[in-house]
Amino acid sequence: MLLSSGAVAPESIGEHRVIEHCGEPLWLLADKAIFWPAQKALLVADVHIGKAASYRALHQPVPRGTTQATLDRLTALLAHYPCERLIILGDFLHARSGRSPATLARLQAWREAHPVLDMVLVRGNHDRHAGDPPSELGIDIVEEPWLLGPFALQHEPDPHLERPVLAGHVHPAFVLRGRGRQRLRLPCFVIHERVSLLPAFGEFTGGWNVDRQPGTRLFVAGAGQVWPV
């Protein structure tokens, strides 16, 4: 097990891998998030709540239940790690057309189940189009870069003049290749001294393939594990 706490994680949580980045221990979680122990914070990017609903509004046949599945995964992570704060690195809501009454009701019920959780949203491009979350959700909205500890927390993966960046937006994925044209595409964390990327957390999101680059560490997440490539 990669867990340093000595606890055995339930299958739905999976393992995590501890790395040091810019002098800070960060836990890369198998469920496409980062736990930052020094801040007691869970970091996620590109949640895209309401994306499936926005597609259904365009009469596209897409699966139901993605919002609840995403919220259930957040609940499991918050229960498993000692989190006092949830930091969303942009794109919490997908689009105005996805703000259906059913979606907003699920969000409200989820928030009422976590009344003392501090929530911060670093605005992303989809947030600007979708509009801020309802005030009843009690989410603090900030513009990028939001400076916390040694990092600049952003949605866009643009370098900061003074601090290393943790960002989203790209939905990074890496393709593992095997014999006989076998290939497996998995979400990944991209760790670099200037700009690091989190995978997309949402259930109904795509990905952008990344390659190994000098000075960059890649960690793929899948089957309840995180491992370097």
pLDDT tens readout for residues 131-163: 888 899 999 999 999 999 999 999 999 999 999
CB-side exposure of 89: number of CA atoms within 13 Å? 31
* 177/70 Cα distance (integer angstroms): 29
* pLDDT tens readout for residues 103-129: 899 999 999 999 999 999 999 987 888
pLDDT of residue 177: 83
Task: Give me the residue spans of the domains in the chain.
Answer: 16-228
Q: Which of 77, 5, 7, 82 shows the shortest CA–CA distance to 44?
A: 77
Question: Could you tell me whether strands 41-44 and 33-36 are parallel, antiparallel, or unpaired per DSSP bridges?
Answer: antiparallel
What are residue 7's phi and psi, to 5 degrees? -85, 150
* pLDDT tens readout for residues 175-211: 988 777 777 889 999 999 999 999 999 876 777 899 9
Question: Could you tell me whether strands 151-153 and 165-167 are parallel, antiparallel, or unpaired per DSSP bridges?
Answer: parallel
> Cα torsion for 146, 151, 173, 54, to the nearest 10°?
-10
- To 5 degrees, how large is the angle CA 67–CA 72–CA 77? 130
How is residue 3 written in tokens?
Answer: 């867990």
Query: CATH code for 16-228?
Result: 3.60.21
Tell me the pTM.
0.87
